[in-house]
Structure 1
Amino acid sequence: MIKVKIWLTILFQMFIILLLSQELVGISCYKCQSRNGMDPSCESASSGAGYQENCRFQPMGRQSQFSGEYCIKVIGKLIPSRETIVIRDCDERPLNRTQISYFNYRGIGINGTQYSCKTDYCNHSINNQPNYQSIIIPITWTLILVNYFQSKR
């Protein structure tokens, strides 16, 4: 009876871990910045350069980084220099201004557009694989602990 209880506990924990695994794995986004076309791979994001799995961002005025929930892309001209800028990053909130307008992005004045999306590499990517380490490690530790406590009997 005790063995059945242990295995049911293990199965329940594995089920919970699998359900939460999407929360454990952050969104993956392209992260780069290009001014006046200085970084062509950032301008197109088709070469795969500048991508980051489990994308993290640092809000203005904060020391720590947080997992992003949205991939973002900002395209426009800097105010007042009129330099063109492309920013690809992640953020905690969606940005959507598809019509050209003035806005302030993390302290930078920009006249342009903002886009956001909620899938991995939503700006020209094919990689959408989950991070299985976040699932396997807790399961392995659970099995080790169960075997340890069973050997104590």
Structure 2
Amino acid sequence: MIWRQKNIISGLFTFFHLYTAVLAIDCYQCSSRNFSDPFCHDPFHPAYKNLTTDCGEGRESRVGLFPARYCTKIVGNNSVDKTEMVIRSCSIKSMDTICGPFNFENVMYTGCISSCETDACNGGQRASPGRASLATIVTAVACYLVTSVKEWM
């Protein structure tokens, strides 16, 4: 009986973690150059922008969108005309947080490029708990329930 309970618990834990691994992240998406979209710039308020759920990104030589794992935010000042650019999006690959000069679309900018791994983390508000945290909580509750059922029998 104990062996069976351990298998059920292991199965639930594996299921929830695999389930959350295939889901894409939710990210804010907007783009603004020279304040063409003032709500994309900081200070950012999520009420003015839509959160893209299950954000996806294309891949070179592939058809369709693939589940993104990171939200991104790029903020920089154009080195030629000094205008500010802000891009909030999602990505399959992590971009380490880098501040300083960078090249974007063959133009030099000075600013920061960053990525994060939790839903809505590229906005200005505190991020909500990720899906993996939710899966862990659900698994813990399932373990408790399985153990409780054993005591009733």
Q: TM-score range by the shorter chain?
A: 0.5 to 0.7
* Residue segments in structure 1 that go unaligned for 5+ positions in a row: 133-153
Who is 2:53 aligned against?
A: 53
Per-residue CA shift, 1:66-91, capped at 9, x if unaligned?
11111110011346554321000111
TM-score by length of 1: 0.62
Who is 2:71 aligned against?
A: 71
SS at match of 2:40: helix
Relative to structure 1, the CA distance from residue 12 to residue 98 in structure 2 (aligned partners, 3 Å threshold; closer, same or farther) is closer
Who is 2:114 aligned against?
A: 115
Who is 1:36 aligned against?
A: 34
Relative to structure 1, the CA distance from residue 108 to residue 42 in structure 2 (aligned partners, 3 Å threshold; closer, same or farther) is farther
Q: What is the CA RMSD across the aligned residues, in angstroms?
A: 3.2
Who is 2:89 aligned against?
A: 89
Q: Work out the CA distance in 1 between the residues paired with 2:9 and 2:81.
A: 59
Deviation of 1:18 (Å): 1.9
Q: Work out the CA distance in 2 between the residues paired with 1:20 and 1:26.
A: 12
Between the two proteins, what is the percent identity of the paired residues?
24
Deviation of 1:11 (Å): 8.2
TM-score by length of 2: 0.62
* 2:73–2:86 Cα contact (<8 Å) kept: yes
* Residue segments in structure 2 that go unaligned for 5+ positions in a row: 135-153
Name the stretch that deviates more: 37-46 or 65-74. 37-46
Relative to structure 1, the CA distance from residue 108 to residue 117 in structure 2 (aligned partners, 3 Å threshold; closer, same or farther) is farther
Relative to structure 1, the CA distance from residue 121 to residue 27 in structure 2 (aligned partners, 3 Å threshold; closer, same or farther) is same
Deviation of 1:15 (Å): 5.0
Could you tell me which amino acid in structure 2 is paired with residue 47 of structure 1?
Answer: P
Deviation of 1:95 (Å): 1.5
Aligned residues: 125
Q: Work out the CA distance in 2 between the residues paired with 1:129 and 1:117.
A: 11
